[in-house]
Amino acid sequence: MLAKLQELENKYLALEQELSDPNLLKDQKRYQNIAKRHADLRVIVQSYRQNLNILEQIDENKVLLGDPDPEIRKLAHSELEELEEKSRELEEQIKRLLLPKDSNDERNVLLEVRAGTGGDEAALFAADLFRMYSRYAEQKDWKVEVLNVHLTGGGGFKEIIALVSGDRVYSRLKYESGTHRVQRVPDTETQGRIHTSAVTVAVLPEADDVDVDIDPSDLRIDVYRASGAGGQHVNKTESAVRITHLPTGVVVQCQDERSQHKNRAKAMKVLYARLLDLKRAEQESQVSSERRSIVGTGDRSQRIRTYNFPQGRMTDHRINLTLYRLEAIMEGDINEIIEALGTHYRAQTLAQSSDDNSPNAFGSH
C-alpha cells in the first residue's frame, strides 16, 4: 500500500504542476479534466501526508520513553497512545479511499419500474414507488424524464422507464435494483385483508455510444400506433417505435412522444443501457464468487425490501434495516436507506480486499 500511496502522491504533484501552467486555461476541457483528477486525489494524499507526520511523532515519542525524567516518560507514553489511535483511524480511512471505484458511479441512470405479482395492486404500487424515486430526485436536484410508460385502467403502471440525470445518480441508486414487496389492504378489498404484491426495479447506468457497439443491421425497427390504457389510441399516426436487437433478443419500445423520431431516440437510449447491463453482467460472471458481492450484480430476482403499510414499516432484508416511518419514505425520504446500503457494501468490499493488504502498510510502529 505504501508504494501505491507514494505513486498517487507523485501523480498529485504532477497534476498540480500542470494546473500551474497558464497555457492550460486556453483549453478549458483539458483544464477541467486535470482539475477533477487533482481534486479526486486531494483527500487521499492529504490523509497519507497527515499519517506520515503522525508516524514521525510516534517515533519521536518512543525515543522519549527512555528519557531519565519520569514526567517526560509519562507524557510521552500518554501522547503515544493518542497518536497510535489517530494513525489507526487514518489507515482505515486510507484503505477505504483506496477501494476501487465503480466506473459507473458518475453516470445518469435508466430507472425501470414494473408491476410483478399482484395484478392491479402491484401496478398501483409501481406508481407509488416511481413517485417515491421522483420525490427523492427532486430533493437531489436531479432531472427525471419519462421515456416510456404503460398505464393500467386503475391509474397504476404496468411499466415505466425514465432517465434520471444529475450528479452521481448511479452511485446513489445502484442498490435499488431488485424485487420490492408491498403488504397492504387494497382499496378494493371489502373485508380488510392484507394483500402481498411485488414490483421489480432495475437501475441501469446510462450508456454512451462508445460503451456498446451496435450494428444497425442487427436492429429490427417496427412502428405502430401508440395506444393508452384500455386500448384507446393516443394518436392516429404510427409514432410508436419497437426496436429488437436481433443478436441478444432484447426488445425495447417507446410511445410516449407524438414524434416517431423522438420515440426512436428514446428507445435507443434504453437499448444502449440494457446492452451495457448485459455486457457488465457477463464481465461480472467471470469474476470468482468469493471476490464479489452478490447484491452488487444487481440481481433483480432477489427480494430486497418489504413495505408493510399496516405497521408503517419498511425493512431492507439485505442489511436487516427496519424503519417505522413508511409514510415519509414513500414521500421520497430514503436518504437514510441509501446511506446505510452504501456503508454496508463499502465495508464488505473493504473486508474482501483486506487479504491483499498487510496488517500495517506503513511499517511497524
Residues 273 and 132 in one domain: no
Write down the pLDDT at residue 86.
Answer: 93
Average pLDDT value for residue range 158-182 = 94
Please, what is the end-to-end C-alpha distance for the chain in angstroms? 16
Write down the pLDDT at residue 239.
Answer: 82
Q: Is residue 70 part of a domain?
A: yes
Q: What percent of the chain has pLDDT over 70?
A: 85
**pLDDT: is 236 or 158 the higher one?**
158
pLDDT at residue 211 tops 80: no
Q: Is residue 293 part of a domain?
A: no
**What residues contact 122, with CB distance under 8 A and at least 6 apart?**
115, 116, 156, 182, 197, 198, 199
Q: Is residue 296 part of a domain?
A: no
The number of distinct structural domains making up the chain is 3
What does the angle CA 122 – CA 137 – CA 174 come to, to the nearest 5 degrees? 70
**pLDDT: is 136 or 255 the higher one?**
136
Q: Is residue 241 part of a domain?
A: yes
Per-residue H/E/C for 235-277: CCCCCEEEEEECCCCEEEEECCCCCHHHHHHHHHHHHHHHHHH
pLDDT at residue 295 tops 70: no
Q: Is residue 295 part of a domain?
A: no
Write down the pLDDT at residue 354.
Answer: 52
Residues 21 and 140 in one domain: no
* Residue 179: pLDDT band with limits 50, 70, 90: very high
Residues 196 and 318 in one domain: yes
pLDDT at residue 264 tops 80: yes
Residues 263 and 346 in one domain: no
C-alpha cell recorded at residue 227: 395506444
Write down the pLDDT at residue 362.
Answer: 52
Residues 149 and 74 in one domain: no
Average pLDDT value for residue range 315-330 = 96
pLDDT at residue 329 tops 70: yes
Write down the pLDDT at residue 170.
Answer: 94
User: pLDDT tens, 185-198?
Assistant: 987 676 778 999 99
Q: Kindly report the CATH number assigned to the domain that includes residue 182.
A: 3.30.70.1660
Q: Which of 44-53, 76-85, 343-352 has the lowest mean pLDDT?
A: 343-352
Write down the pLDDT at residue 210.
Answer: 60
Q: What percent of the chain has pLDDT over 90?
A: 47
Q: Is residue 61 part of a domain?
A: yes
Write down the pLDDT at residue 297.
Answer: 37
Q: Is residue 294 part of a domain?
A: no
Average pLDDT value for residue range 16-30 = 89
Q: Which domain holds residue 137?
A: 107-200+302-365
Query: Exposed, middle or buried, 282 (CB in 10 Å: 0-12/13-18/19+)?
Result: exposed
- Give me the helices (H) in the chain, please: 2-19, 28-64, 70-98, 119-139, 169-173, 260-285, 326-330, 335-353
Q: Kindly report the CATH number assigned to the domain that includes residue 31.
A: 1.20.58
User: pLDDT tens, 137-160?
Assistant: 999 999 999 988 999 888 899 999
Residues 225 and 259 in one domain: yes
Residues 193 and 311 in one domain: yes
Last residue of a domain, one of 288, 322, 350: 288
Please provide residue 266's backbone torsions phi and psi, each rounded to the nearest 5 degrees.
Answer: -65, -40
Last residue of a domain, one of 53, 80, 98: 98
Q: CA 65, CA 325: separation in Å to the nearest integer? A: 55
Average pLDDT value for residue range 173-194 = 88
Q: Is residue 262 part of a domain?
A: yes
User: pLDDT tens, 55-99?
Assistant: 999 999 999 999 899 899 999 999 999 999 999 999 888 877 777
Residues 111 and 88 in one domain: no
Q: CA 345, CA 235: separation in Å to the nearest integer? A: 47
Write down the pLDDT at residue 79.
Answer: 93
Residues 236 and 262 in one domain: yes
Residues 14 and 29 in one domain: yes
Residues 211 and 358 in one domain: no
Q: CA 300, CA 294: separation in Å to the nearest integer? A: 11
Q: Kindly report the CATH number assigned to the domain that includes residue 275.
A: 3.30.160.20
Last residue of a domain, one of 98, 132, 147: 98
Residues 362 and 339 in one domain: yes
* Residue 291: pLDDT band with limits 50, 70, 90: very low
Q: Compute the chain's Rg from CA coordinates.
A: 26
